[in-house]
Amino acid sequence: MLQKRWLALIVPMFWLGFTLEGAGGTGQLKLPNSQSPSKPELVAERSPAWQFRAFGTEPFWGVNITPSGIAYSTPAGTQAEFPYVRPLYAAGRPEELVLFFNLGKTNSLTLIQTQCSDGMSDQTHLYRAIFVFNNRVYDGCANPRASSGRT
């Protein structure tokens, strides 16, 4: 019975590309290169700057992403400016599918390419936006800016 449990654990690991190193398979478990823990799950940008307008309702907020910077604002007057950072992408996926902007400390913006409704209009937007500002999470939508040349 114990042997069957071990097989149930080991067989899927080999199917995923894991190998055992050492004589007689008694050595260390080695991750496949594509799953090495030293490689990040997200990879750095390889292309020119992205330009987006992200926004949310209830509460209302907006983020403008341009090569000159990333600006957050609310109708109540809250504002924050961040230098433009190149986004990280989901490993093994097209660049435009998931964009993660690390804005430092407790701030980030994640854009996920999927249809998004802002809940206030009948418009459908191209991206879902998740903005974290001072450890508070805001959910909304986003679209590439027309001048970005990217879709």
* φ/ψ of residue 41, rounded to 5: -70, -25
Going by pLDDT thresholds of 50, 70 and 90, the confidence category of residue 147 is low
Q: Is the pLDDT reported for residue 87 higher than 90?
A: yes
Domain boundaries, the chain: 2-35, 42-148
% of the chain with per-residue pLDDT over 90: 54
Judged on CB neighbours under 10 Å (0-12, 13-18, 19+), 14 is: exposed
pLDDT average, residue stretch 116-124: 87
Q: What is the mean pLDDT of the chain?
A: 75
| Rounded Cα–Cα distance for residues 64 and 55 (Å) | 9
Across 78-135, where does the E strand assignment appear? 79-82, 88-90, 98-102, 108-117, 124-133
pLDDT average, residue stretch 57-81: 95
The structure tokens listed for 114 are: 């999927």
Omega within 30 of 0 (cis) for the link into 40: no
Entry pTM: 0.65
pLDDT average, residue stretch 57-73: 95
**∠ CA 85-87-91, rounded to 5°:** 155
